[in-house]
Amino acid sequence: MSLHHKLKDLSNKLNDSILAKSQSKIDLSSGKKIYHYTNIAGLKGIIESSSLWLSDATFLNDSEELLDGKNIAEQRLEDKLRFCKDEDFKSVLELTKQGLEDEKQYANIFIASFSEANESLEQWRAYGDNGKGVCISFNLNNKMVFSKQIFKVIYDNGQKRDILDEIINSYADAFDNQSDKYHFDTKKLFSQFLLEDLRYKFILFKNEAFKTEKEMRLIHKLPKYFKLHKQLRFRLSNNIIVPYIITSDLIKNREFKPSINSITVGLISHQQATIKSIENLIKYSDYQNDNIKVVSSKIPYRS
């Protein structure tokens, strides 16, 4: 077996182990519902395209979101470098640390955010257009597009450190058993896999201050050879032009459109007119036979 295949196998085993321990993986047989807060324009786009919209990971709502995981990863790598006695593996750690600084490290990673919290005042304020938007309830099951790529966000700092340490230590053990570990190409390949695993895990990390959001993320990484320019779209958000992709561009089978259970409309003026307009939109979409309930929010809200 080639070194590339050995490291790929290690990466897969680590992924399964960490997801099981962290309880980030979702049970798709539970009939769980997840919620997405957005503005009316966002809802219109989802209904018309029968798709989830996944934004470029570098354009997450909170600019500190990616930095939280990156900073912890840098700390763990520095600690390992300080105590590592294997000079060759130190080179792997150094290469990995350098890779964390590369601005292209999140290239081709796209994210859609959801919450376990329904009718959350905090979510309405932060993501539901300050109470003037909608909360979309999705049925989370095997038919939901990319459902197996939806994971719970990790907020606990101790758990974050444990996850990153497990990844680094597993690669250290594998490197120790490598006969050609003195070769630069071997060190480079180890650092590439280590960086990829660290990055793909800490993209699930978020500052503990946000734990009440109960966020879940759909994370989709496009292959390097993917011709992104053909699928890339752009939307305006808070005066920033955000790159995004939609799932129907990636999977053409309409049976795998997002399964919507209900739409809750925020406490806005002309609320009933807005509800009727959404029902009319559904009537002329691929969701016309899905019996989607459109209801008004019951939460007391002051903008």
**Residue range 184-239, pLDDT digits in tens:** 999 999 999 999 999 888 889 998 988 999 999 998 888 766 666 677 899 888 88
What stretches of 154-244 show up as alpha helix (H) in DSSP? 157-176, 184-202
Please tell me the distance from the alpha carbon of residue 25 to that of residue 22, in angstroms, as a whole number: 8
pLDDT at 289: 92
pLDDT at 143 over 60: yes
pLDDT at 11: 93
For residues 122, 128, 132, 135, the Cα torsion angle rounded to the nearest 10 degrees is -100
For residues 52-71, average pLDDT: 78
What stretches of the chain show up as alpha helix (H) in DSSP? 3-22, 40-49, 65-83, 87-100, 121-127, 157-176, 184-202, 247-250, 271-283
pLDDT at 135 over 90: yes
Q: Tell me the pLDDT tens digit for each residue of 4-37.
A: 999 999 999 998 888 877 777 777 666 789 999 9
Please tell me the distance from the alpha carbon of residue 8 to that of residue 11, in angstroms, as a whole number: 5
Q: Quick one: DSSP state of residue 300?
A: -
pLDDT at 299: 82
pLDDT at 296: 94
Evaluate if pTM is beyond 0.95.
no
Q: What is the mean pLDDT of the chain?
A: 87
| Residue scoring higher pLDDT (171 or 222) | 171
Q: Tell me the pLDDT tens digit for each residue of 225-267.
A: 666 667 789 988 888 899 999 988 887 655 568 889 999 999 8
For residues 98, 104, 110, 113, the Cα torsion angle rounded to the nearest 10 degrees is 50
pLDDT at 273: 95
Q: Where are the domains of the chain?
A: 3-296
CA distances from 237 to 102, 107, 203, 225, 228 (A): 25, 20, 21, 28, 21
pLDDT at 262: 97
Report the share of the chain in percent with pLDDT over 70. Answer: 89
Rg (the chain; Cα; Å): 21
Q: How confident is the model at residue 82 (pLDDT cuts 50, 70, 90)?
A: very high
Q: How confident is the model at residue 101 (pLDDT cuts 50, 70, 90)?
A: confident
Please say whether the beta carbons of 15 and 198 come within 8 A.
Answer: no
pLDDT at 68: 82
| Residue scoring higher pLDDT (107 or 93) | 93
User: What does the block give as tokens for 163?
Assistant: 């996850």
